Amino acid sequence: MRSGFKQGVVVAGTVLAMLASPLAAQFQTDGYKFIKAVRDRDGTVATQMLDEPGNTIVNAREIGTGETALHAVVQRRDLTWVKFLLQRGANPNIADKNGVYPIQIAAQLGFIEGVERLIKGGANVDVSDATGETPLISAVHRRDLKMIEMLVEQGASPDRADNSGRSARDYATLMGARSGTLDAIEKGETSDEGEAETYGPS
């Protein structure tokens, strides 16, 4: 009896595995095809795949890197595709296997329009990678004054520390007044306060 029961369990498990594998393989194949279409700028194929009812292909991830289609279009600074994917439900808060988010890539590239659109699409402005670096810290390292100001205006914390214990404000202070980075942080904070007073509840 026990032997028969065990054999039944093994057979049932094998059948389930056989049923599940094609489904998983199908999703991976579709995900690969979708991301490839996006990388190739093939709007026809990408749109056809997105139009299939009930799919979540827009957030498919590459097996090796963990990157999504949104990572790919941000890397090439393609605002049209960034907007398109976000409109079709792309989640800007998915990190790749190295813990890197699309907004971090955009900040590192100085792709300010991309950062703005990602934030509008729901991106967390204070995400950090494996080293604890936030988009704002990256912008300070690059001395990208417009990016710094915009990120602070959008709620990025200049006092959030990375793994070394230093914050964007700390790095800006170390760079000195000539870099303009600390001024950009303070300008962003002042602008944010002004908007709160103008548009906030009385």
CA distances, 26 to each of 20, 30, 47, 54 (Å): 10, 6, 18, 15
Q: What is the rounded average pLDDT for all residues in the chain?
A: 86
Say which residue, 83 or 24, is predicted with more confidence: 83
- 173's tokens: 């202070």
Residue 147: which pLDDT band, with cuts at 50, 70 and 90?
A: very high
Residue 196: which pLDDT band, with cuts at 50, 70 and 90?
A: very low
Quick one: average pLDDT of 123-140?
A: 95
Closest C-alpha to 103, from 126, 84, 83: 126
Say which residue, 63 or 15, is predicted with more confidence: 63
Measured distance between the N- and C-terminal CA atoms of the chain, rounded to whole angstroms: 76
Lowest-confidence range among 24-28, 58-62, 70-74?
24-28
Residue 20: which pLDDT band, with cuts at 50, 70 and 90?
A: very low
Residue 5: which pLDDT band, with cuts at 50, 70 and 90?
A: very low
Percentage above 70 pLDDT, the chain: 81
pTM more than 0.85: no
What burial class does residue 17 get, using C-beta atoms within 10 Å of its C-beta: 0-12 exposed, 13-18 middle, 19+ buried? exposed
pLDDT of residue 185: 94
In whole angstroms, give the CA distance from residue 81 to residue 202.
Answer: 39
pLDDT of residue 2: 52
